[in-house]
Amino acid sequence: MTNAGIWQGIVIGLWFVVSFTQVAQASVDNESGDRHPHLFSPKMKPAGVPAEYVLTHNGFFHPSCVVRVNSDEVVGRDLVIRGLDGRYHDRIAPCAHPRFSATGRMMLERNQGDAKSFVESSRSERNISKAAVAKELAYDGYVAFFEYQGDIPAPASLNSVWVVPQVPRTIGEQAFGIFSGIQAADVILQPVLQFSGSSGHWTIIDENCCAAGNLIASVPVSVMPGDVILGSVKIAGCDEDKVCSNWTVTAMDLTTRKSTTINRQDPQGAAYLIIPAALEAYSVTSCDMWPANGQVNFYNNTLTDGNGAIVQKQYNLYILPRGANPRPDGFPIDCNYGGLNIGNNFSLVFGASPSAVKPNSEIPVNPVIPITVDGYMSGNWYDPTQGGQGFQLEMADNTMLAIWFTYAPDGSGQNWIYAQGSYDSTKSSVTLPAVLLTGARFAPNFRTGDVKNMPWGTLTFSFADCDTGTASWSSTLPGYGAGSMPIHRLTQIKGTVCP
């Protein structure tokens, strides 16, 4: 990774960014179900970029080539958008327009063996002047970041917490992103907090580049200075070469409990780079265009393997403005840039008198994205120490069906305890009324009218993560009583993805 390459800021992959979405327009788009959101289109663009193009952290796109997906949707390798329960929602069509880097260079598709990648066109390929190229360098770049390159467990999760800084004293057309992330091959997965001078707001959003030339964007969430943000990157479905097919990235405002998520099913190379804290700039031309408090703090950064064990790494700090060659035209290099790492906490500094922002809510010691009840939890569950009984769970459209395949208290035979009811997809537990089905006989002597639904009590399911939880019961019938047992996932419905 070269300094010049980072200043050009072109990473073909998953970018979780914010600033370029107009908050008011985004809320309207989300309500109407518009797949093509209105993004930020700067008045001044590099030479050769059409006026209608919008800016993202993967460069300039035609508006029709920006596709919005919801947090409860998954984009598959086949470019089909599905719900977390596997149902078909939509299909992404190939982009019919070229795209440009943030510096205004057309991105050209090049074949590398069986793989394809995008590279920036040269000045001669675009037939523009040296003066126009010099102006391009004012656009994009990393400012300060920590990173580790080397062996990374697969599966893996990276969780980090940061507090939203103050807004800048001077607001223009600047934008900057604050993020953590994991990179695999040419794809970087990042939950990002970002400020946009065009809207004057902090927001969180997810982007993924590039599916058939399209940018995939999640629904943005507006956040306030002092809000506590949890960023999570999870890679799963990994093979023996540590290439993982399921990627989930979430940015959650722990103060308001609002979040945005992007889910992709797309195998890539093995992860090799971790960024626990980073700051990236767009069109910043003076020190007072940075957040007014002059720093951002990252707390309790944790990297865990597939078993949940914490993995420690040694991170190096890079301050790019002092070493980048060439430096972007007009970029301020005297803003006291720096960084500090103590244990699992990181700070990035960009002001003469840096100070921490008071958080609006508690900072978690062990940050994790809470699991919620939804279609991806469907499947068979059981207690491994009690093989021979278990639960079949189905969730769809906020209705849950649970069947407990078990036995009568007196040992007289099998019992099917049936429970059904609504669930809240923002909660990690659900309680359902249950009945005991009796009275009917085996076919051909089965008659529907013989089935008796005897009120039994309640079943409660609480989930710690996608694969573990607790089943609790409280029965009104003699012999069943009340109790609980740990449950583990046995099967998962094909096509569903757990965040």
DSSP-assigned states of every residue in 377-441: G-EEEE-GGGTT-EEEEEEETTEEEEEEEEE-TTSSSEEEEEEEEE--TT-SEEEEEEEEEES--
400 φ, ψ (degrees, to nearest 5): -120, 135
Rounded-to-integer distance, Cα 90 and Cα 167, Å: 38
- Give the amino acid at 459: L
Distance (Å) of CA 130 to CA 44, 126, 127: 18, 11, 10
- Evaluate whether residue 498 is within a structural domain: no
d(CA 105, CA 96): 17
Q: For residue 424, is it within any domain?
A: yes
CATH of the domain at 51: 2.60.120.200
CA–CA gap between residue 141 and residue 131 (Å, rounded):
20
User: Within a domain: residue 357?
Assistant: no
Domain count, the chain: 2
* The pLDDT of residue 9: 29
Cα–Cα distance measured from residue 250 to residue 499, given in angstroms and rounded to the nearest whole number: 8
| Residue 160 shares a structural domain with residue 300 | yes
Say how far apart CA 60 and CA 104 lie, in whole Å.
Answer: 8
Cα–Cα distance, 72 to 314 (Å, whole number)? 35
Does residue 188 sit within a domain?
yes
How many angstroms separate the CA atoms of 373 and 240, rounded? 30
SS3 338: strand
CA within 13 Å, CB half, 110: 10
Distance CA 303, CA 234 (A): 10
CATH of the domain at 461: 2.40.128.20
Whether residue 428 sits in one domain with residue 292 = no
**499 residues of the chain, pLDDT tens digit each:** 333 333 232 232 333 333 333 333 333 333 335 788 777 677 777 778 898 998 777 788 999 999 999 888 888 888 999 887 788 999 999 999 998 877 777 886 544 443 344 444 443 443 444 444 444 444 357 889 999 999 999 889 999 999 999 999 999 878 888 999 888 876 777 888 989 888 889 999 877 777 788 888 888 899 999 999 999 998 888 888 888 888 888 999 999 888 888 888 875 678 899 999 999 887 788 899 999 999 999 999 999 988 888 899 999 999 864 444 445 567 788 889 999 999 999 999 998 889 999 999 988 887 777 778 888 899 999 999 998 999 999 998 889 999 999 999 999 888 889 999 999 887 889 999 999 988 888 899 999 999 888 999 999 999 988 888 999 999 999 999 999 999 999 998 877 777 6
Strands lying side by side in the sheet with 244-253: 88-91, 80-83, 73-75, 258-265, 244-253, 228-238, 156-163, 295-305, 345-350, 337-342
* Positions of E strands within 306-369: 316-319, 337-342, 345-350
139 domain-assigned: yes
For residue 497, is it within any domain? no
pTM: 0.70
CA 435 to chain centre: 39
Number of residues that make up the chain: 499
Q: Which of 273, 250, 281, 244 is nearest to 263 (CA)?
A: 250
Tell me: do 13 and 78 sit in the same domain.
yes
* Domain region containing 484: 375-489
